[in-house]
Amino acid sequence: MVRPPARPDGRAPGATARQGQPNQRGRTAAGAAAGAAAGAAGAAGATRTPEPTPAPAPPPDPQPSVGSVTNLPLPRFAALRSDEVNLRAGPGTRFPIEWTYQRRELPVEITREFELWRRIRDPEGTEGWVHQSTLMGRRSAIVRGAPSSETALRRRPEADSPPVARLRPGVVVRLRQCELRSAWCEAQAGEYRGYILRSEVWGVSADEEVK
């Protein structure tokens, strides 16, 4: 039986957002208190001016269909190249690190490109930017399901084929081949090799071909 690590998403245990930028308030608590007192004193004879109606937020940028750097399709899947990959708030080292992934071959989805940086989405939906050198094209997928469930890796791409292994949610498998529009993918988990349904993993689209 192949079992997952403690964190299926591959993030460092206890990882939190880092404070990478100075405080933007620009004044101390004492100054704020003095300012509040002065404002209260002058408010007695003041006429309140109605606040303007805020302008509506602009709509989000549409999802591009191809990368601006590689011209490859977007979104597309890739995998983490090493056991330490920093997820940043923006495309550059000047942006703070939000997470550090510690799981090689964790599948991710590339959604944007900017120079040498790629915006990714992980299996839990968290998004951020990583350097393109931390990604690889070799494909993987992560087993989905309830915490106590198991997914069969079968000998043949058939629902009644005997299992060669039973995989717990969070196990990362290497995708060896997915035929176009087939419901099954040939996959490998450790020393076990067999077939798994696309619908039981995250890291491959419904009708994608993987060679």
Per-residue pLDDT tens for 73-115? Answer: 999 999 999 999 999 999 999 999 999 999 999 999 999 999 9
Q: Which of 10-19, 44-53, 154-163 ranks highest by mean pLDDT?
A: 154-163
Which element (helix H / strand E) includes 110? strand 107-114
22/140: higher pLDDT:
140
Task: State the pLDDT confidence band at 62, using cuts at 50, 70 and 90.
Answer: confident
Percent of the chain with pLDDT over 70: 72
Q: Which domains does the chain have, with CATH numbers?
A: 76-137 (2.30.30.40), 142-202 (2.30.30.40)
Residue 46 contacts by C-beta under 8 Å, 6 or more apart in sequence?
Answer: none
Q: What is the pLDDT of residues 109-167, one digit of tens each?
A: 999 999 999 999 999 999 999 999 999 999 999 999 999 999 999 999 999 999 999 99
Mean of all residue pLDDT scores within the chain: 82
pLDDT of residue 22: 33
Q: Which long-range contacts (CB under 8 A, 24 or more apart) does 128-134 make?
A: 128/87, 128/88, 128/89, 128/98, 128/99, 129/87, 129/88, 129/89, 129/90, 129/91, 129/92, 129/95, 130/85, 130/86, 130/87, 130/88, 133/81, 134/80, 134/81, 134/82, 134/85, 134/86
